Amino acid sequence: MPVYAISHPEYILKIRDIQADKVYRLSLGGLKLGITEMATKFPKHFLDVMQDNCDAETGDVFIQCCVFGDLIYG
């Protein structure tokens, strides 16, 4: 079973957009920024996270906030 040390300063999650053939790199700083952006711009989804009521849409919003700081797709 893999172990992920996301608090390690060199930890990076690579996210590949197969349609645009582009790779995005997500660090702990990006995750922190993403949750902050989500709370500010998409409070309904942030509330879903806080209430442990997440679904695929909430996850999509979170990842886009982490990578782009906003919703770009859909």
- DSSP conformation letters of 28-46: HHHHHHHHHHHHHH-HHHH
In a domain, 1, yes or no: no
**Structural contact between residues 34 and 60, judged by C-beta atoms closer than 8 angstroms:** no
User: Model's pTM, two decimal places?
Assistant: 0.83
Alpha-carbon span 7 to 1, nearest angstrom: 18
In a domain, 26, yes or no: yes
Adjacent-strand bridge partners of 56: none
pLDDT band at 2 (very low <50, low <70, confident <90, very high): low
Q: What is the pLDDT of residue 5?
A: 76
Domain that holds residue 25: 13-68
Overall number of domains in the chain: 1
In a domain, 5, yes or no: no
pLDDT at 7 exceeding the cut of 80: no
pLDDT band at 1 (very low <50, low <70, confident <90, very high): low
Query: What percent of the chain shows pLDDT beyond 70?
Result: 96
